[in-house]
Structure 1
Amino acid sequence: MNKLPKIAIPGIITLIVLVVLIIKSAVTIDSGQAGVLYKTFSGGVVIDEPPMGEGFHIVAPWNKVFIYEVRQQEVFEKMQVLSSNGLEIKLDASAWFEPKREFLGKLHQEKGSEYIQRVLLPTIRSAARSVVGRYTPEQLYSSKRDAIQAEIYEETKKIVDGQYIQLNEILVRDVTLPATIKEAIERKLKQEQESLEYQFRLVTAKKEAEKVTIEAQGKADANRILSASLTDKILQDKGIDATLELAKSSNTKVVIVGSGDSGLPLILGNN
């Protein structure tokens, strides 16, 4: 095998060095990510330019690129907090968030890649303790979960907005009370429900009784008015009218005028 010419050796070495430099200089940023450039010899973290976008990039081999997820993310947190009367409550919550893309350099420079543990989670825990401490266990168990969720969101957002983090939502997934307190609340709620049902039955029965009374009163008033209107003269006139109608009948009969009580005719027939 022929030896390589001496002139070829430096060329091969140069080529190898170039390949290594290109590999070291190549940076690929995936979808939903952005890069923060760190210039080793000229100023450190670049904060006065937009972060590097998706795709393939070539940077000087002595510089570095720190890649961040810039899509919405979710972080979960389990906490133990105290209610307004000092009882320990277990709270499961999660946060939807994303770093503010335009301030990604600032976020990296001031908070670093562990900004979730350093900023977001401690703020959520602090806000949750503050908010839950305003409510009783009964309120936490029943009607106030949405209000608690909204208040934790507002208090957390107020702080992390200035820390280059965009908070999209806080979700309170579960509120766990001590077993004895939970049972006591459930008994109380059951008793209240039974009381409401009993009151409803009383109101319904009262309304039904009032309806029957009104109907009976109406009938009594009608009978009283009718009795007051039926004088002897009216009854006599109606008797005469009825007699005349009977007299028109084809059946055999004898009409004796003025022989009945109160002067009404008597009708004698063959039936």
Structure 2
Amino acid sequence: MKKNNEKKISLLHPYGLILFILRTLLDWFKRYSITIILVTIVISASTIVLWPKISVHVKAGEVGVIFRPLSGGVDTSALAGEGINFKFPWNSIVVYSTQIQKHELKIEIITKDLLKSIVTVAFQYEINRDTAPLVHRYVGEKYLDKVIIPTVVAITRGQISSFTSEKAFSDEIFKLQKEITVQADTGIINNISPPGTSAIRLIKISQIEIIDIQFPPDVQKSIEEKIAQRSKLEAYEYIIATELKEAERKAIEAKGIKDFQDIIQTGLTNNYLRWKGIDASSKLANSQNAKIVIFGQGTASLPIIMGDLEGSPIGKNLQKDLEKIKKMDEGVKY
């Protein structure tokens, strides 16, 4: 009776309750330890083995299409987003990239003038995230090989074969690239639209570029020589055009000078010129610089004004002559 009371009292104590629970668990574990270990091993092994079957990792820029073989096949109403996605082992999730991707391919083409060449084409493509289940249902994972490449090859050959090699690969190349891109994108929309629908964009081609052209060696050499000669001809034409413009400029300048002289000549009378000469001589004579003024005898003649005589050869000779005249006046013999 005393022991039972002590046990009741100990259970009422908080620490006593904890000890009681621990002892109970320990006793239970001792009795079922083998079973617990076996169950743990089985669960762990099953998880390791089945993990690839029950989970799918979808990376950034990707989307998962869910296929339910027991309930309707491709699920067009739900997608597996980025991250870890769990599923039943009998279901499958096919991952598609929704990022812009790039692909290059070489196409053998015969132009309108029967020149055989190899054209390297690069293009960018992407699938529509929302319509990825339709791509999986009507085209499949190999949509690049099944749809995109055949369409690009067919459109590229059809466009380039309608031009000569010179026109297709020189003057019209940028126009061709744009036209090929538009037609290839439209062709994919028309070719893989689900039955009963029209103009649903499942895959988009954003840009097609012709990045390399390979001709036969002899043709390549002749083309390079022709391009070099054409460059020289264009340079000569530019020089000729420049010279013609320069000649035109000089002709205009000469005409302007002639017109100016004609206008001036009509107003230059003898009285006007004589008056301008007298006015200029008067201003020079009144200046403070040292000078010699020589007046002529005629009424129409203008004075000759010489300045800075000391520094010029004429002034020095004139000064010597004046000294000689002065000495002769004084009776000095030479």
**TM-score between the two structures when normalised by the length of structure 2:** 0.62
Which has the higher mean CA deviation after the structures are superposed, 183-192 or 55-64? 183-192
Among candidates 84, 87, 90, match of residue 115 of structure 2? 87
Partner of 1:238: 274
8 Å CA contact 2:54, 2:87 repeated in 1? yes
Q: Which residue of 1 aligns with 2:210?
A: 172
Q: 2:123·2:209 contact (CA, 8 Å) conserved in 1?
A: yes
Alpha-carbon distance between aligned partners in 2 of 1:126 and 1:253, rounded to the nearest angstrom: 100
8 A Cα contact 1:161 1:167, kept in partner: no
- Between the aligned residues of both structures, percent identity stands at 24
1:40 aligns with 69
How many angstroms does 1:54 deviate by?
Answer: 1.0
Choose the corresponding residue for 2:139, options 103, 111, 127.
111
TM-aligned CA deviation for residue 196 of structure 1: 3.0
Residues 38 and 44, structure 1, Cα contact 8 Å, conserved in 2: yes
* Shift in alpha-carbon separation, 1:199–1:172, aligned structure 2, 3 A: closer
Within-5 A mapping of 1:185-200: 185-200=223-238
1:123 shift after superposition: 0.7
In structure 1, runs of 5+ residues without a counterpart are none
Question: Contact between 2:111 and 2:163, CA under 8 Å: does it hold in 1?
Answer: yes
Rate the CA distance shift 1:217–1:84 in 2: closer, same or farther, 3 A.
same
After superposition, give the CA deviation of every residue in 1:76-114 in whole Å (9 maximum; x if it has no partner).
111111212221121111221112211111111221111
Separation in structure 1 between the aligned mates of residue 231 and residue 295 of structure 2, nearest angstrom:
78
1:26 aligns with 2:64: no
Going from structure 1 to structure 2, the CA distance change for 1:215 and 1:90 (only over 3 Å counts) comes to same
Residue from 155, 158, 170 that aligns with 1:130: 158
Q: Which has the higher contact order (CA 8 A, sep 6+)?
A: 1
Q: Does the 8 A contact of 1:140 with 1:175 survive in 2?
A: no
Q: Secondary structure at the match of 1:134?
A: coil
Distance in 2 (alpha carbons) for counterparts of 1:43 and 1:219 = 96
Aligned-partner Cα distance in 1 for 2:55–2:293: 131
Question: Could you tell me how far 1:161 is from its partner in structure 2?
Answer: 2.7
Q: Structure 1 residue 161 and structure 2 residue 189: aligned?
A: yes
In structure 2, what is the equivalent of residue 99 of structure 1?
127
Residue 184 of structure 1, aligned match among 217, 222, 227: 222
The alignment partner of 1:142 has SS state of helix
Moved more, 50-59 or 125-134: 50-59
TM superposition shift of 1:207: 4.2
SS of alignment partner, residue 108 of structure 1: helix
Give the CA RMSD over aligned residues. Answer: 4.1
- Maintained 8 Å contact 1:96/1:167: yes
In 2, the alpha carbon distance for the partners of 1:67 and 1:198 equals 61
Residue type of the alignment partner of 1:159? G
Shift of residue 26, structure 1, vs aligned partner: 2.0
**CA displacement 1:21-40 (0-9 Å, x = unmatched):** 56631222222221111112
| TM-aligned CA distance change 1:4 to 1:149, over 3 Å | same
Shift in alpha-carbon separation, 1:83–1:217, aligned structure 2, 3 A: same
Is the 2:274–2:300 Cα contact (8 Å) retained in structure 1? no
Residue identity matched to 1:37: I
CA distance in 1, matches of 2:292, 2:79: 119
- The one-letter amino acid of 1:67's match is V
Q: Which residue of 2 aligns with 1:152?
A: 180
Query: What is the rounded CA distance, in whole Å, between the counterparts of 2:86 and 2:132 in structure 1?
Result: 20
Give the residue type in structure 2 aligned to 1:99: I
Q: Does 1:72 align with 2:100?
A: yes
Q: Distance in 2 between matches of 1:252 and 1:195?
A: 66
Gaps of 5+ in 2: 1-29, 193-201, 304-321, 323-334
CA separation of 1:9 and 1:145: change in aligned 2, threshold 3 A: same
TM (norm. structure 1) is 0.74
Q: Count how many residue pairs are aligned between Structure 1 and Structure 2.
A: 254
Matched residue, 2:149: 121
State the one-letter code of the partner of 1:167.
I
Partner letter of residue 239 of structure 2? R
Preserved contact between residue 64 and residue 96 of structure 2 (Cα < 8 Å): yes
CA distance in 2, matches of 1:21, 1:115: 30
Residue in 2 that maps onto 1:61: 89
SS state at 1:46 partner: strand
After alignment, is 94-103 or 123-132 more displaced? 94-103
